[in-house]
Structure 1
Amino acid sequence: MQDNKEFGNVLIVGLGMIGGSFAKSLKQNGLATLYGADRRSGELTLGVSAGVIDYPAQLDGETIQKMDIIILATPVRAMESVLSEIKPYLREDTLLTDVGSTKGSVVAAAAAVFGEVPANFIPGHPIAGAEKSGVLAANPRLFEKHMAIVTPLPYSDPDLLDRLHRLWRAVGADVVSMDVEHHDHVLAASSHLPHLLAYTLVDALANADRSQDIFRFAAGGFRDFTRIASSDPTMWRDVFLANKDATLATLDLFTDRLADMRKAIEESDGASMYGVFTRAKSARDHFLRLLEQRTLGQAQEKQVSIAVAPASSVQGQITLIGDKSLSHRALIMGALSDGVSELANVDLVGDVKVTMQALRDMGVVIEEFGHGTVRVHGVGRKGLRAPIAPINVHDSATSLYLLLPILAGQDFSVEVIGEGVLLNTPFTHLLSLMNLSGASVSSAAAGCLPFRVTPADIKSVGGELPGEPSSRLISSAILLSLFAEEVSEFKTHFPLDAKMRALFEAFGVSISGDQLLKVQSNNLCGAQFELPADLQQVVWNVLLAALLPGSSIRLYGVSSIGRMQSLFDLLAKMGVRLHWMDDPSGVFGARVLGVSFSKLTPVSLSALQVYEFREVLPQLAVAAVYAEGVSVFSGVSQLPYFYEDRMSAIVDGINQVGGDCRWDKGMLQINGQIPEGGDLDSAGNDLVALAFLLLSARCRQGGTVRDCQKLLNQIPNLEEIMVMLGLKSSLHI
């Protein structure tokens, strides 16, 4: 009886837009012989003439018994009647499925007809459609890159279930499985409620006193929102009656939130309104990202190169964007505090956007006012809300280190995921810190993402921090201490930077000690301050002016406390001419710094100094290229692998353009000389690209740095800075 095509004989019962599209897709791809049954004889005639089906059919014994697959595409309220009609003739090996948007009522109808749901009846539902109806609206590509939900029952035939999956994939759908009850609640919220709101809104406005003007002057938003009110009224009446309980539950949730919004408007509560709008935008953006991934796949980043011409000099005065590391922490502390924080000169790009988006996904209102000024409405230590989706740190290790401890202190479970190189990076030290403190974090194999965080009682952070010390791990321990039941006291071989200490203390965290840190906090309060200039950008601009003859610049908002002072002492030792223009001010001791061309001298860094300055080591190595003599960097091979890899790329680049870098007994030696120049490939690493730009600026023939897209993502105004300073450069895509 079976046709020799892949799916044999397929009967579509109900040649509407969904049933017709399914039939047309199978027919055009030569996957089945298509039969159609419909109570409207005119639709059958149109179906044959339009090439949607091969043959019209009736629901009689001759037809039903020769079918390999039967798809019920009728209104959900008609299911019981159709099932009763085909029951006497249905073969046990015939796959019987449907496309209805409610599943509980369909399963109930099958149970009423058959006594119990037969193993060959497996419900399904495509998440696709349009406002048009009838067989002439059939679109063979309707299901491509759309979800198709299969809702198998405990006793569904596994062979037929596999065939159903293959059937949906054959028409281009992405197939997922879901239980019946969960499907009906999900669809009540995502599909049924929006239709109900659209119908009700249009009906209410159509009967309003000013209905004619309302419709005459309605803009695109009204059109877009109410588009679905043009759908088939009969079908949707049946849907709401069939899925009554789930729809009412979702409607009650919505009306409660609508009442809250009405109250916020009535009381002019702008913060509450902004919070709702922020969370809604975050959820909508998440949906659009998922949709884009399904329809377009991952977009490829543009390959951007930056060419630097020789014989440049830089002049002028600029205010650099705030420190990236401090920006992450300031946003998090503002979110965990009570009250409102006013923060100025915050870096709101690159990795910091990841942290900010995660906070917004968990209900934190963050208002942006331009030029890095934000207002963070704190929710308190344990006031974050469960996000609608896993927290995605993308490729930002800093976001992971700083978000994981605050997630561990909340009362909800959450999954943390990442992308790119982060997926294969083991975070053993971070996980060790979390678990030793009583936090509940489980991971994939080898301590890699994804992580699962569940509520747990955090006792305290004590002992010695695991692994090599780092500012990120120290900050993780401090943040984790905010949720501890006892006072935390832990040891680190690497002192907490004075800028980090100042930031935490500005929000009410008391941190005593140098390498044995004691962390206490009673109340976290909102703070007001301006962040100092970003470390990497300060060093880059300082060395750029020092390397190029005729240069003289002023940098505003430069911090001169903590590790920054040690770095400036090192630069001064290398011969960089630094001129402080005023006294330190503000929380971070910010000052105006003048820099001019300098004759550089070689430097020898101990292993301890190499570790201390590891973040800016690529730029220091470039500075050593133009020093008169041999510089030695010890202990580079002892750095964590990602710092060592970064330095290996720098060494290769220096030698490629005519410099002289070599390894000798584990030490890096750089023989000072002016390289010729050429092409340099940063391999997408933003800090390598930044150092290569510095290297190219003094090369005799200039240089071109490849793959700079991530650098421009991290410093989007870099081109503007180069133009303001007069650096001869150009971007190429």
Structure 2
Amino acid sequence: MANTVRYKGLISVLDMDKKEVPLFGNVLVVGLGMIGGSFAKALKERGLATLYGADRRESELVLGVSSGVIDHPAMLSSEFIAKMDVIVLATPVRAMESVLSEIKPYLKPTTLLTDVGSTKGSVVEAAKQVFGDMPANFIPGHPIAGAEKSGVLAANSHLFENHMAIVTPLPVSNPVLVDRLHQLWMAIGADVVSMDVEHHDYVLASSSHLPHLLAYTLVDALANSDRSQDVFKFAAGGFRDFTRIASSDPVMWRDVFLSNKKATLATLDHFTERLAVMREAVEQGDGAGMFGVFTRAKSARDHFLRLLEHRTSGQAKEIKPISLRVSPVSSIKGEISLLGDKFLSHKAITLACLSEGISVLRNVDLSGDVLITLQAFRDMGVVIEQVAANQLRIHGVGLRGLKAPIAPINVHESIMSLHLLLPVLAAQTFSSKVIAEGVLLNRPMGNLFDLVHSMGSRLTPSAADCLPVALEPSALEGKVLVVPYGAELLDTTALLALLFLPEGARLQGGSTLEVNRDVFASFFIRLEGQEGGVALSGLPPKGNDITLPGDGMKAAWWMLLASLSPGSKLTLKNVFCERLSKAYWPLLKSAGANFSVQQGKEGGFEVAELIVSFAQLSPLVLNAEQVYEVRDMLPLLCVAAACSNGVSILEGINLLPYYDEDRVQYLVDALVQVGVGCEYHSGHLKIVGGFPAGGEMDCAGDYHLALAMLAIAVRGSGPTKVDDCQKLLNEFTELQEVAVRVGFHCAVAQ
């Protein structure tokens, strides 16, 4: 009769005398170097096996027992081999054939035989030489861990924790033993993946073998130069870090390169070609070319570090919630020159990257989601220099000059970045994948995906029209792109798609083209009305020097704050008119808001200077069409209604996209919480104006809700705390500095 105990989800058997039978039984490690010794020590310290060690150096066996790395020394004889449950070959790869020949006569077919060598093709060939074919119980493996130290005294029982271990089974491999090998590595903390033998050797030739070859060669070349003494004397940390791996075991690495010759040469040839390109760039003084290589390299390494951080931490870093506290005694006075409109910043960066020639973008909002779009193009090889706080110099690569990113494009939670990048990626000559995070992962994208499909692209969403989505190169033959009424993001997607479609392709149904007309014209692209739609002319886009007008959403918010705060007089400069002039300004005027507008044209854009003062607002009455027109700014208008002197009625809330409706419903709940009378049912919203109480509200990390809640707070009867404002501060980086300057009493809550 036996009992069982669990160890990290695995089961060990206990006999009736309570004597534990180790989970993996008898394990023999052949070769007690640093890797073999660490593997043995990791199992032994966790009580997962009875450890035996074999090594041609008797001194290593003695040290292995005395230092607690193994339980017993062993020989490659019938006495030991026949009773082993697992045998791990940790010898140099060129010694594999010899070791396999020794153990072959005594090896049981039920014994799991594996190795830790950094090349797998040569190991498989060695096994075939000895056994005639690959044994079903020999499952090659390779832990991606190590150090420059060698010998059993360098053994580290934690070496494999949060590191990758690659298992390379063959078609003939015993699936039960393959699973057991996975469990073995997982039990000592490794992240285990399976990989094809040939693919493994090429991947490791690039990621591990080539860096070692370069480090050895560089140190040898410098050591034999005329200035070697000074080179080493004055070498800084970069030299030390790069050449650290040249202290590794020379015998082991000689064997690695001889065993993985084909893959190493292929990788070395590719590197030599790239090095020749860089040499020519240095010789020709091609700064842009060098900067492009450095940009792509930095992006690739940053991606590697993110993967490493995620693997070692086990999870993303927790973001500490940030709350803002608002005093209701604010009086908004002064002058604000607004940072560039966020939507225009996204679009201008995209068009500049796809243009021919260099563009200089001034007054760009380099915060929040804009950085996601910026990083995506850097990941695809575009040279983007930040030459001042809000100024970029972008070296355009043309419509199809982007390069394949090293990893999937992550748009995080940026819906704008997604709409801009998908049509661009669909038109490139490389395959790509777009992933996301948070709420964007579960948001259906049927309309967007249908639009990109209509380009003629090969786009495959993961499931149910949601992200992630894969795109494959295809011949784009779309002629007519149809967009629903009022869909500004889809209008922008369609216009970008037209850049890549055959002559005569057109957009049908676009209703928000005015907000795109000026930014496209800045890159010499004209939107021309044709029968049945809108087409583009002036292709391809060309680089230009442009200054972006101020952000419309922030302008709308500052206008509302000044309108609600007694004693206020605020001047807003450089306001982008298109987003406000058609609906938001007229509605505020109808509610009695006190502001003047002086419009003009600067840098090709319609801009305005506004002077806003306090006014007691009247109730708002909005029909469904008006509600839809101002849906982005609807939370702000709900706040205006809550501070008015009567009852406001808003119809058609249920006809909005679900995320806009959800936002309004969430705000209504928050307004009720601070004493504002609200009733909502069947798309009909009634708000009873008055004086909100102070208190605490949670914006759920939503940028629009955070702005609305901060605005209602200026009319509260007491201090108000708005929770979860991290995203707001990421997007609105200048908020706290400007708030102090104009008298808005808003600060991070302690």
- Look up the equivalent residue of 1:67 and give its one-letter code: M
| Pairing 1:161–2:160 present | no
**1:148-168 deviation per Cα after TM superposition (whole angstroms, max 9, x unaligned):** 000111100111101000001
Whole-angstrom distance in 2 between the partners of 1:562 and 1:327 = 14
User: Could you tell me which residue of structure 2 aligns to residue 288 of structure 1?
Assistant: 305
- Look up the equivalent residue of 1:324 and give its one-letter code: K
User: Could you tell me which residue of structure 1 aligns to residue 379 of structure 2?
Assistant: 361
Whole-angstrom distance in 1 between the partners of 2:531 and 2:56 = 82
> Cα distance, 1:665 vs. partner?
5.5
User: Could you tell me which residue of structure 2 aligns to residue 170 of structure 1?
Assistant: 187
> Cα distance, 1:664 vs. partner?
5.5
| Pairing 1:72–2:93 present | no
2:158 to 141, 144, 147: 141
User: Could you tell me which residue of structure 2 aligns to residue 506 of structure 1?
Assistant: 522
Whole-angstrom distance in 2 between the partners of 1:616 and 1:582 = 21
1:713 to 699, 710, 730: 730
Whole-angstrom distance in 1 between the partners of 2:316 and 2:116 = 30
Whole-angstrom distance in 2 between the partners of 1:489 and 1:469 = 17
The TM-score with structure 1 as length reference comes to 0.97
User: Could you tell me which residue of structure 2 aligns to residue 82 of structure 1?
Assistant: 99
> Cα distance, 1:262 vs. partner?
1.3
User: Could you tell me which residue of structure 2 aligns to residue 546 of structure 1?
Assistant: 563
User: Could you tell me which residue of structure 2 aligns to residue 439 of structure 1?
Assistant: 457
- Look up the equivalent residue of 2:167 and give its one-letter code: V
Q: Secondary structure at the match of 1:701?
A: coil
* Pairs within 5 Å for 1:25-424: 25-296=42-313, 297-424=315-442
Q: Does the 8 Å CA contact 2:721/2:749 hold for their aligned counterparts? A: no
Whole-angstrom distance in 1 between the partners of 2:719 and 2:629 = 31
Q: Which moved more, 1:178-187 or 1:514-523?
A: 514-523
Q: Which moved more, 1:476-485 or 1:66-75?
A: 476-485
Q: Secondary structure at the match of 1:369?
A: strand
* Pairs within 5 Å for 1:1-20: 4-20=21-37
- Look up the equivalent residue of 2:517 and give its one-letter code: R
| Pairing 1:588–2:605 present | yes
1:663 to 680, 693, 711: 680
| Pairing 1:471–2:480 present | no
User: Could you tell me which residue of structure 2 aligns to residue 430 of structure 1?
Assistant: 448
User: Could you tell me which residue of structure 1 aligns to residue 6 of structure 2?
Assistant: none
* Pairs within 5 Å for 1:666-685: 666-685=683-702
Contiguous gaps of at least 5 residues in structure 1: none
* Distance change >3 Å, CA 629–CA 516, structure 1 → 2: farther
Whole-angstrom distance in 2 between the partners of 1:169 and 1:194 = 28
Contiguous gaps of at least 5 residues in structure 2: 1-12, 14-19
Q: Secondary structure at the match of 1:698?
A: coil
Whole-angstrom distance in 2 between the partners of 1:463 and 1:267 = 45
Q: Which moved more, 1:235-244 or 1:313-322?
A: 313-322
- Look up the equivalent residue of 1:672 and give its one-letter code: G
Q: Secondary structure at the match of 2:47?
A: coil
* Distance change >3 Å, CA 583–CA 435, structure 1 → 2: closer
* Distance change >3 Å, CA 120–CA 463, structure 1 → 2: closer
Q: Does the 8 Å CA contact 1:305/1:732 hold for their aligned counterparts? A: yes
Whole-angstrom distance in 2 between the partners of 1:392 and 1:344 = 26
Q: Does the 8 Å CA contact 2:487/2:511 hold for their aligned counterparts? A: no
> Cα distance, 1:490 vs. partner?
3.2
2:552 to 535, 539, 542: 535
Q: Secondary structure at the match of 2:721?
A: strand
> Cα distance, 1:523 vs. partner?
2.1
Whole-angstrom distance in 2 between the partners of 1:662 and 1:461 = 47
Q: Does the 8 Å CA contact 1:481/1:487 hold for their aligned counterparts? A: no
> Cα distance, 1:417 vs. partner?
1.2
**1:181-217 deviation per Cα after TM superposition (whole angstroms, max 9, x unaligned):** 1101100110011111111111222222222222222
Identity, in percent, stands at: 57
* Distance change >3 Å, CA 52–CA 664, structure 1 → 2: closer
Q: Does the 8 Å CA contact 2:552/2:577 hold for their aligned counterparts? A: no
Q: Does the 8 Å CA contact 1:5/1:31 hold for their aligned counterparts? A: yes
Whole-angstrom distance in 2 between the partners of 1:591 and 1:302 = 38
Q: Does the 8 Å CA contact 2:409/2:433 hold for their aligned counterparts? A: yes
Q: Secondary structure at the match of 1:209?
A: coil
- Look up the equivalent residue of 2:462 and give its one-letter code: A
Q: Which moved more, 1:516-525 or 1:42-51?
A: 516-525
> Cα distance, 1:582 vs. partner?
6.6
Q: Secondary structure at the match of 2:617?
A: coil
Whole-angstrom distance in 2 between the partners of 1:487 and 1:148 = 54
- Look up the equivalent residue of 1:501 and give its one-letter code: R
> Cα distance, 1:34 vs. partner?
0.2
Whole-angstrom distance in 1 between the partners of 2:437 and 2:261 = 40
Whole-angstrom distance in 2 between the partners of 1:285 and 1:579 = 48
> Cα distance, 1:378 vs. partner?
1.0
> Cα distance, 1:726 vs. partner?
2.1
Q: Secondary structure at the match of 1:113?
A: helix
Whole-angstrom distance in 2 between the partners of 1:207 and 1:683 = 63
